[in-house]
């Protein structure tokens, strides 16, 4: 904690007479507005700036007393001890001049103590109701310690698995991302954010952060306005429309402008266009980092740029507390802008009920974590999030037909690692690994041999591989648990090579040689390049880091007590150097599939003999797995689509019925997906865009009629004139189990 910075004092007080920014009316409450205004009138400039200062605490609680009593701290993060939280609140509410409670924040990203699948895994459920429930449960646990604000959901569209934070995203699709964001906001905040067990959500990182050049965290982005509006902003907008109370800026500069200093983003779009009336917080030190960007000359300049752009709370750069007063006195920041910021901050505190109920009831804390129903929810989420990528018939295993299995691989019994990134409060002692679950559920019937072969997912020492293969030969089936340790993904944990690390691929290859059925179960923070590994197993179940209850979920899926139903929220590439996403444009020279790859070309072949289309000559004309892909133990067939009308007006809905049959296998859930292509536009249009999806249970042998009504207005986009509208013309529509299947029907949108 930089005491010197906190203690900085300004010399003059300057009142600006410029007009106040008009706040939006989203959910505005006149009593709250009245209270905010009355309080604001009592505040000194120092106290106002104090509200705009957020610090991370640790160590001796009393060392912060002087600053809190003086009103220099508006929010703290990273305190989860309810007794300490109450002590901080007491300093603020009973020992300070204006009694303004503190807002306590924490990164509750995919659960608090009970950890749910990482957001990428949660997205692969395509189950927004379930996602909402996970956020609800996380808020119940977190609020029991006095945490009133989480920095979730992350709404960054992510198309590049090298980027470590793809783990925290909902993947590459704006609709899925938006629906997940809405579900999480609802789950955290509920209809009444002032309820004791509700917490404020935060859509982040506004904006573009997931498009970091080269997949390297914090890197610059180059997203033009039209792309921004058509792809990157919709999830944020959806979060705002769902009533999210806070927004966090991003670290990156887009087209040269760091988000924390981007007034077009924070004022023109967020406030004026969208009417947001919650508050905007910087990312950790992102204000001061505008100096590194070469956008601000020094800390004071950074504070000026951020405050003027509309960034209202400074997370951990101390530039506001040390320079805002001087900047106001020098006329470089208007006091009316400070007032607008503080109004937004206070409004959030009122909406959260903090003025009425600043203290956490510590009797709630006991028994708040790992409740039976929360663990059951975590198990269900892990079950639904697992994606079956390959099955040559090895799965599900039948416990009555086999007697001995080999459990191997570095992720079989690695409780910390299966929690994934941002699991600050998750505990390995409460985590159930696949090994533990297999023993518990099937240990009475099966002989389970455990031999990890590799110490961890990076272990290059192949000494244990021969023994693993020898053990495999003595068993009826092999379960190889591979993937990534938690440390391999997350913030600043980007990879240039996204294949399985260490000796894992060699282990799988050796196991396959045993001649026994090999099931690969992957737990990872991203879409790994597992093309060659697929050849070395008979079945592959891909779980993104599944959380506390990953073990039982995976064990049940492997033995058919549950049926895989997850779908990929992100395209899987063949090689680390590839970039594919399903909603790309076609280009003038799309691959036809008839191209010749480098491996098949004779020596001295002519320059153009491979084909002149858009593909990777040393890899493929297609990605490894398309967005939306995922197998089941049931076999689904899509038996036709009925469109209510093949001509619709701008005011209509596109009404579709799809007939999906569960041809064989168990009763199972399928995520039925609707994709639409706008054939010709004023700008080039995506090959396909997901416009709706439904998770439906289809009993064995039955056909489900799955109905959709998609408003034609959902086809709107920003075209050449930058106005968001539907362009009349021809469209194609698919209903399928992934983004690369099915035959389209056509329809027209009339003028």
Interacting residues toward ligand BGC by CB under 6 A: 107, 151, 204, 283-284, 491
Q: Which is nearer to ligand BGC, 250 or 408 (CB)?
A: 250
Please state the closest distance from residue 646 (CB atom) to ligand BGC, in A. Answer: 46
Nearest residue to 350 via CA among 415, 278, 272, 439:
278
User: Which residues is 477 bridged to in the sheet?
Assistant: 405
Q: Which is nearer to ligand BGC, 266 or 500 (CB)?
A: 266
Please state the closest distance from residue 167 (CB atom) to ligand BGC, in A. Answer: 12
Half-sphere exposure at residue 675, Cβ-oriented, CA atoms within 13 angstroms: 23
| Spatial contact of 712 and 648, defined as CB atoms under 8 Å apart | yes
Please state the closest distance from residue 627 (CB atom) to ligand BGC, in A. Answer: 25
Distance CA 7, CA 624 (A): 56
Task: Name the residue with tokens 């509006």.
Answer: 229
Please state the closest distance from residue 294 (CB atom) to ligand BGC, in A. Answer: 20
Q: Which is nearer to ligand BGC, 82 or 490 (CB)?
A: 490
> Which 3-state string (H, E, C) describes 36-75?
HHHHHHHCCHHHHHHHCEEEECCCCHHHHHHHHHCCCCCE
Nearest residue to 118 via CA among 163, 173, 187, 168:
168
The question of whether 361 is a catalytic residue gets the answer no
| Spatial contact of 454 and 485, defined as CB atoms under 8 Å apart | no
Residues in the chain: 751
- Please enumerate in sequence order all residues whose Cβ is within 8 A of that of 417, keeping only pairs 6 or more positions apart, or say none: 411, 456, 457, 483, 484, 485, 486, 487, 523, 545
Q: Which is nearer to ligand BGC, 149 or 633 (CB)?
A: 149
DSSP helix/strand/coil, 532? helix
Q: Which is nearer to ligand BGC, 278 or 464 (CB)?
A: 278
Q: Which is nearer to ligand BGC, 285 or 322 (CB)?
A: 285
CA 21 to chain centre: 32
Distance CA 282, CA 57 (A): 17
Backbone angle region of 505, left / alpha / beta, with phi > 0 → left and psi within -120 to 50 → alpha: alpha
Please state the closest distance from residue 415 (CB atom) to ligand BGC, in A. Answer: 23
- Parallel, antiparallel or unpaired: strands 387-391 and 404-408: unpaired
| Spatial contact of 180 and 153, defined as CB atoms under 8 Å apart | yes
Q: Which is nearer to ligand BGC, 151 or 717 (CB)?
A: 151
C-alpha to C-alpha distances, 52 to 298, 312, 325, 554, nearest whole angstrom: 19, 6, 12, 45
- Give the count of beta carbons closer than 10 Å to the beta carbon of residue 46: 16
| Spatial contact of 188 and 138, defined as CB atoms under 8 Å apart | yes
Q: Which is nearer to ligand BGC, 491 or 652 (CB)?
A: 491
Please state the closest distance from residue 422 (CB atom) to ligand BGC, in A. Answer: 8
DSSP helix/strand/coil, 572? strand
Q: Which is nearer to ligand BGC, 210 or 452 (CB)?
A: 210
| Spatial contact of 284 and 316, defined as CB atoms under 8 Å apart | yes
Please state the closest distance from residue 248 (CB atom) to ligand BGC, in A. Answer: 6
Residue nearest ligand BGC (C-beta atom): 151
Please state the closest distance from residue 159 (CB atom) to ligand BGC, in A. Answer: 19
Structure tokens at 574: 């063949």
C-alpha to C-alpha distances, 434 to 91, 369, 411, 486, nearest whole angstrom: 46, 22, 8, 16
Please state the closest distance from residue 153 (CB atom) to ligand BGC, in A. Answer: 11
| Spatial contact of 85 and 79, defined as CB atoms under 8 Å apart | yes
DSSP helix/strand/coil, 731? strand
Which listed residue (283, 339, 533, 740) is catalytic?
283
Q: Which is nearer to ligand BGC, 283 or 485 (CB)?
A: 283
Please state the closest distance from residue 314 (CB atom) to ligand BGC, in A. Answer: 13
DSSP helix/strand/coil, 735? strand
DSSP helix/strand/coil, 641? strand
Q: Which is nearer to ligand BGC, 426 or 517 (CB)?
A: 426
| Spatial contact of 378 and 111, defined as CB atoms under 8 Å apart | yes
Please state the closest distance from residue 705 (CB atom) to ligand BGC, in A. Answer: 42
Q: Which residues are catalytic?
A: 283
């Amino acid at each position: 904690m930089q005491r010197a910075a906190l203690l900085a004092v300004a010399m003059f007080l300057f009142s600006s007479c410029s007009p106040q920014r008009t706040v939006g009316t989203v959910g505005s409450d006149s009593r709250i507005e009245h209270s905010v205004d009355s309080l604001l009138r009592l505040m000194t400039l120092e106290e106002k700036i104090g509200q705009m200062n957020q610090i991370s605490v640790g160590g001796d609680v009393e060392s912060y007393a002087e600053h809190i009593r003086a009103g220099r701290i508006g929010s703290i993060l990273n305190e989860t001890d309810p007794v300490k939280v109450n002590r901080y609140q007491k300093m603020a509410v009973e020992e300070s001049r204006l009694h303004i409670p503190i807002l306590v924040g924490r990164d509750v990203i995919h659960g608090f103590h009970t950890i749910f699948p990482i957001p990428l895994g949660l997205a692969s459920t395509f189950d927004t109701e379930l996602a909402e429930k996970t956020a609800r449960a996380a808020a119940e646990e977190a609020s029991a310690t006095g945490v009133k604000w989480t920095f979730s959901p992350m709404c960054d569209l992510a198309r590049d698995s090298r980027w470590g934070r793809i783990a925290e995203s909902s993947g590459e699709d704006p609709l899925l991302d938006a629906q997940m964001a809405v579900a999480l906001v609802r789950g955290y905040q509920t209809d009444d954010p002032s309820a004791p067990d509700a917490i404020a959500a935060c859509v982040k990182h506004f904006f573009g952060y997931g498009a970091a050049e080269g997949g390297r965290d914090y890197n610059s982005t180059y997203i033009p306005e039209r792309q921004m509006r058509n792809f990157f902003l919709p999830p944020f907008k959806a979060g705002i429309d769902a009533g999210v109370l806070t927004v966090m800026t991003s670290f990156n500069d887009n087209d040269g402008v760091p988000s924390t200093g981007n007034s077009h983003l924070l004022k023109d779009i967020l406030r004026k266009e969208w009417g947001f009336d919650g508050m905007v917080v910087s990312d950790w030190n992102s204000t001061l980092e505008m100096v590194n960007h070469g956008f601000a000359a020094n800390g004071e300049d950074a504070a000026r740029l951020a405050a003027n752009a509309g960034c209202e709370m400074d997370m951990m750069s101390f530039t506001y507390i040390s320079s805002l007063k001087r900047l106001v006195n020098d006329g470089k920041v208007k006091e009316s802008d400070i007032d607008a910021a503080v109004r937004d901050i206070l409004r959030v505190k009122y909406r959260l009920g903090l003025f009425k109920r600043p203290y956490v009831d510590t009797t709630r804390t006991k028994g708040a974590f790992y409740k039976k129903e929360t663990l059951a929810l975590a198990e269900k989420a892990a079950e639904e999030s697992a994606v079956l990528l390959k099955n040559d018939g090895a799965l599900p295993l039948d416990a009555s037909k086999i007697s001995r299995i080999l459990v191997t691989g570095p992720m079989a019994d690695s409780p910390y690692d299966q929690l994934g990134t941002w699991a600050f409060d998750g505990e390995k002692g409460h985590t159930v690994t696949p090994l533990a679950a297999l023993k518990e559920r099937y240990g009475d019937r099966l002989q389970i041999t455990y031999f990890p072969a590799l110490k961890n997912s990076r272990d290059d020492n192949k000494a244990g591989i021969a023994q693993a293969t020898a053990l495999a030969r003595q068993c009826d089936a092999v379960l190889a648990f591979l993937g990534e340790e938690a440390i391999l993904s997350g913030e600043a944990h980007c990879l240039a090579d996204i294949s399985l690390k260490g000796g894992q691929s060699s282990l799988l290859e050796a196991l396959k040689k045993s001649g026994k059925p090999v099931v690969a179960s992957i737990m990872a923070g991203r879409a790994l390049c597992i093309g060659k590994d697929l050849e070395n197993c008979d079945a592959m179940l891909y779980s993104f880091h599944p959380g506390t209850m990953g073990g039982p979920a995976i064990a049940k899926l492997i033995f058919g007590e549950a049926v895989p139903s997850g779908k990929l929220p992100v395209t899987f590439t063949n090689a680390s150097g590839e970039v594919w996403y399903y909603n790309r444009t076609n280009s003038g020279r799309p691959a036809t599939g008839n191209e010749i790859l480098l491996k098949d070309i004779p020596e001295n072949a002519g320059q153009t003999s491979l084909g002149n289309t858009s593909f990777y000559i040393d890899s493929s004309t297609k990605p490894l797995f398309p967005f939306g892909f995922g197998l089941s133990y049931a076999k689904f067939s899509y038996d036709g689509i009925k469109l209510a009308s093949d001509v619709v007006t701008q005011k209509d809905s596109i009404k579709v019925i799809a007939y999906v049959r569960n041809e064989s296998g168990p009763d199972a859930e399928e995520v039925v997906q609707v994709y639409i292509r706008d054939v010709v536009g004023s700008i080039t249009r995506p090959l396909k865009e997901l416009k709706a999806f439904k998770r439906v249970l289809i009993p064995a042998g039955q056909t489900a009629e799955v109905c959709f009504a998609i408003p034609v207005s959902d086809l709107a986009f920003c075209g050449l004139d930058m106005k968001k509208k539907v362009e009349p013309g021809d469209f194609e529509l698919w209903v399928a189990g992934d983004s690369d299947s099915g035959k389209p029907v056509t329809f027209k949108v009339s003028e």
